[in-house]
Structure 1
Amino acid sequence: MKKRFWIAGSFGIFITLSAFAQDGNSLKYAKTITEKDLEKHLTYLASDEMEGRDTGEKGQKMAAEYLAGFYKELGLTGPVDGSYFQKFNLSSVSYPDVNLTVGKQKLVNNEDFIFIGDANMSKATKTDLVFLGLANEENLKKVDVKGKLVGLWAIGSRAQSVVPEVMNAGAAGIVIVTMEGQANFDRMANWYKSLSGRGRLGFEQPTKQEPIFLVSSEKMASLFETPVDILKEAAKNNPESIGTKKVSYLVKKQTKVVPTENVMGYLEGTDKKDEVLVISSHYDHTGIDSQGRINNGADDDGSGTVSVMEIAEAFAIATKEGNRPRRSVLFLNVTGEEKGLLGSEYYSNNPIFPLENTVNNVNIDMVGRVDYEYQNAENKDYVYVIGSEMLSSQLKVINEYNNITYTNLILDYRYDAEDDPNRFYYRSDHYNFAKHNIPVIFFFNGVHDDYHQHTDTVDKIEFPLMTKRARLIFHTAWDLANRENRTPVDGTNTRMER
């Protein structure tokens, strides 16, 4: 009761509606979002026929055509010179020949190590492997890294945060540990193995001669013939006490062009049509795994994609009945999210509508399931909300207002913390809008055992709950598209770097 009063009080600062008064149109058109329609679209997009919707592959192209056909049928405009596709090229980089030998140990790629760097070499390099441990100034004074392959003990850190300093000190390359436990490393190695035949997708860029090899803590100990606990201690205090090893390595690189496309449908507004609300999801997934199993991606992010479709339909029906939104709405399904938020990065760097006119991004990524935290809860009607109060003082409150007025879900903000170890804020497409200071709100159901597995299938989707979440998102979007003033950008972006 107190919470409701507080939210209404906060809202009263900038809204003139009666407290929690329902908007008849918002209520009417939200009801067009149904379990039946969500299931129909998802059953197709997450079918085996889509082959896991891997970026640039046949299934992704089929899904794109399905989305474009749907938007055309709704009467939405193709905003790219009449097209529903924003086409662009990615570069697929693979390393068909990567060898690493330390002493007499010839290591196996994607088993003993994972190659996470970039290089292209005509012949093998022979040098020393030295142990630096922590990548700090004090250790760099103790260990000569110039021209050497350097062992880093960076547990709990990201490779990209510690590599530059060591490479800038003259290192030839790096062997790095970022996680404890062989099981954690093996899971990542298996994932890389599944990608090895397809290559890594990204935007074309010059080759960096930065051979970087990721290993487990146990493997690092084996390479230096030193127990893990001693190596861990030496990493902090006396890295020079660890003996040098002879090493040889070779990396050969191949690249090819991979065409792909974002899909979008555009609905022009009325008196505020120059202002644009973007409602997004990613429609790609991870394709077929190394064992030939299809990763259908029903929850990730088939659930978000069909939610965007149904929200688009609700807006389209409203428009046909004479209730066109005041602001324009862009329904944006991006590609390449699973490869590093590539589609949304491309859009934000090549926007169809000026970013200064983009009022908000409402992003939907995984809204069809119940996660570990709620699987045993009595009340499972929840959704995680991320990023809603960082850039605007009003966006979070607008969403809470609509939730209390219409859907009464549990809005869980635990993953919105800046120190969230899962880093979910950085792992979906809203990030590429927020970095341009566009207020964002990200809806998410959390992870479960089927996350990024071939078992993420339609039969496990909680359609009643998914419908309720999609309706909340519609209510919030309808409010943002029709209110008198756009949400102010009165906050500071404290999370710029991924």
Structure 2
Amino acid sequence: MHKKLILSGVIALGMAFPSFSQTSPQVKYANTISVEDLTKHLTYLASDQMQGRDTGSETGKLAAQYLADFYKNLGLTGPVNGSFFQSVPLVTANFSKVTLQVGKSKLVENEDFVFTGDGNMAKTAKSELVFLGLVTDENLAKVDVKGKLVGLWAVGVRSNDLVKKVMDAGAAGIVIVSMEGQANFDRIANRYKTLAGKGRIGFDKETEQRPIFMVSSDKMGQLFNTPVEKLKEAAKSTPESIASQKVIYQVVKTKTPVDAVNVMGFLEGTDKKEEVLVISSHYDHVGVSSTGEVFNGADDDGSGTVSVMEIAEAFAQAAKDGMKPRRSILFLNVTGEEKGLLGSAHYGDNPVFPLANTVNNINIDMVGRIDYEYQKEENKDYIYVIGSEMLSSHLKKINEYNNITYTNLILDYRYDAEDDPNRFYYRSDHYNFAKHNIPVIFFFNGVHDDYHQVTDTVDKIEFPLLTKRAQLIFHTAWDLANREQRTPVDGSNTRTER
């Protein structure tokens, strides 16, 4: 985007930008964000020693302590009654036994099916598996689902509402196809198998008798002894034409408390100190595989975490030099993002500072690599920006202004579309601020071959590019923390449901 176009739009809106230049003091502090420091911190946090920083694990606690010690040494304060930690009350649910037999076929968990539901059963249940296909009122009128496992065809749609509708109609459970092709299903099944035995971490809640078994499209065809294409056609309007099958299943569950924390360092502002800017990342990753391989999580989200650390150091140095920000800044490293945005959800429901006084959230998740889209591009100095214009008409322009003034990255908005099939907007911690109508901006480098693989290691990080991205985020944060007026909330949240 051309600088003149951006500035003309800014003038038209009457937005007053600070008069910064490449010789302004903030450039000095942006330049403290260095390849050397980012490398040092990430080499530790994403080392094999840290064992993948799993939520609530002993090495996860080591990572949390490393962050807290860093903030303390910067001179930041612990905002939770003097502590740098906010406890996040989680439990691990282990499904020690999950069985599914259709007819005479005993299915194998994490090979033939993936269990994605909930439940705890003292003994096995015997029932029927009936085929409903698409969840329409017409189909529900043709198929008796009460007390039965129900086969759903939910390819290309959000399935949560569909599952609820069928369960509300009296179904005992669900067997669901949510993607076509065996290869797509196998990738998910392999991930579940790799993480088998760890259980699911989440907030403690009453167990629902809601068994949901996800299968591939091919497997669904096998279960009903019907070719996949015929099954897809029947799913539209003739589900009753597919014969039901005898089924036996059981789910056994136990729960164990998890000791998990969010980490935060606080820098108090000056004349606008009651207003708070939150700069966040998640420091957790997915731990170690069942075969002992470490998921180092260098990009996801070691890169975002060390960026927050370096941005905090830049602001702390400015404060020591007598240039404290006007607004207060909370540097927030949350836990449990990989388990469902848990740490940020807990903060949003239990904020340390009033949400009404929280002016913005800048969220940084995966900013150290080059994705599929840019690998063949000549200019690889890019960053994806998501969510920046939904709630405030000013935030996107503020970021663009600082980019053209200081860093000149390509700001790519392709994943900011509301119909983005990847749904990246819903998949990181800014979501839990935006749902409270706090304007957010999410920085992201996109997906690569090492995403959620044991090959996401430090040696593959593009440290000069990571440095430049972190410097842009610092400049934007400096602007937001020091401008006269906080960014207005003059837009509406059109993405409220995950």
Q: TM-score range by the shorter chain?
A: over 0.9
**Shift in Å at residue 21 of structure 1?**
4.1
How big is each residue's C-alpha offset from its partner over 1:5-34, in whole Å with a ceiling of 9 and x where there is no partner?
121112223344587745712211101100
Cα distance in structure 2, aligned partners of 1:298 and 1:19 = 36
Number of the residue aligned with 1:284: 284
Q: Which segment is superposed worse, 193-202 or 454-463?
A: 193-202
**Shift in Å at residue 291 of structure 1?**
2.3
* Secondary structure in structure 1 of the residue aligned to 2:2: helix
How big is each residue's C-alpha offset from its partner over 1:233-257, in whole Å with a ceiling of 9 and x where there is no partner?
0000200000011111111111100
Note if contact 1:284-1:336 (Cα within 8 Å) is conserved in structure 2: yes
Number of the residue aligned with 2:10: 11
Note if contact 2:18-2:483 (Cα within 8 Å) is conserved in structure 1: no
Note if contact 1:56-1:259 (Cα within 8 Å) is conserved in structure 2: yes
How big is each residue's C-alpha offset from its partner over 1:196-229, in whole Å with a ceiling of 9 and x where there is no partner?
2110010000010111110000000000000000
**Shift in Å at residue 193 of structure 1?**
1.6
How big is each residue's C-alpha offset from its partner over 1:401-427, in whole Å with a ceiling of 9 and x where there is no partner?
000000000000000000000000000
**Shift in Å at residue 84 of structure 1?**
0.3
Q: Is 1:50 paired with 2:40? A: no
Number of the residue aligned with 2:338: 338
**Shift in Å at residue 168 of structure 1?**
0.6
Cα distance in structure 2, aligned partners of 1:88 and 1:287 = 18
1:19–1:479 Cα change, 3 Å: closer
User: Structure 2 counterpart of 1:68, which letter?
Assistant: A
Number of the residue aligned with 1:69: 69
* Secondary structure in structure 1 of the residue aligned to 2:352: coil
Q: What does 1:152-231 align with in structure 2 at a 5 Å threshold?
A: 152-231=152-231
**Shift in Å at residue 289 of structure 1?**
1.4
How big is each residue's C-alpha offset from its partner over 1:362-390, in whole Å with a ceiling of 9 and x where there is no partner?
00000000000000100000000000000
**Shift in Å at residue 157 of structure 1?**
2.2
Number of the residue aligned with 1:304: 304
Cα distance in structure 1, aligned partners of 2:445 and 2:170 = 45
Note if contact 1:94-1:196 (Cα within 8 Å) is conserved in structure 2: no
Cα distance in structure 2, aligned partners of 1:294 and 1:410 = 33
Cα distance in structure 1, aligned partners of 2:451 and 2:127 = 41
Cα distance in structure 2, aligned partners of 1:201 and 1:438 = 27
Number of the residue aligned with 1:483: 483
**Shift in Å at residue 4 of structure 1?**
1.4
Number of the residue aligned with 1:59: 59
1:434–1:18 Cα change, 3 Å: closer
User: Structure 2 counterpart of 1:7, which letter?
Assistant: I
Cα distance in structure 2, aligned partners of 1:28 and 1:21 = 11
User: Structure 1 counterpart of 2:63, which letter?
Assistant: A
Cα distance in structure 2, aligned partners of 1:19 and 1:339 = 43
User: Structure 1 counterpart of 2:382, which letter?
Assistant: Y
Number of the residue aligned with 2:126: 126
How big is each residue's C-alpha offset from its partner over 1:97-136, in whole Å with a ceiling of 9 and x where there is no partner?
1111111101111111111111111111111111000011
Number of the residue aligned with 1:410: 410
Q: What does 1:60-459 align with in structure 2 at a 5 Å threshold?
A: 60-459=60-459
Note if contact 2:17-2:483 (Cα within 8 Å) is conserved in structure 1: no
* Secondary structure in structure 1 of the residue aligned to 2:152: strand
Residues paired across the two proteins, number: 497
User: Structure 1 counterpart of 2:2, which letter?
Assistant: K
Cα distance in structure 2, aligned partners of 1:171 and 1:387 = 38
User: Structure 1 counterpart of 2:186, which letter?
Assistant: D
Q: CA-atom RMSD, angstroms?
A: 1.1
Q: Which segment is superposed worse, 373-382 or 159-168?
A: 159-168
1:189–1:18 Cα change, 3 Å: closer
* Secondary structure in structure 1 of the residue aligned to 2:307: helix
Cα distance in structure 2, aligned partners of 1:214 and 1:370 = 32
Cα distance in structure 1, aligned partners of 2:109 and 2:18 = 64
**Shift in Å at residue 87 of structure 1?**
1.1
User: Structure 2 counterpart of 1:55, which letter?
Assistant: T
Cα distance in structure 2, aligned partners of 1:346 and 1:196 = 26
Gaps of at least 5 residues in structure 1 are none
User: Structure 2 counterpart of 1:123, which letter?
Assistant: K
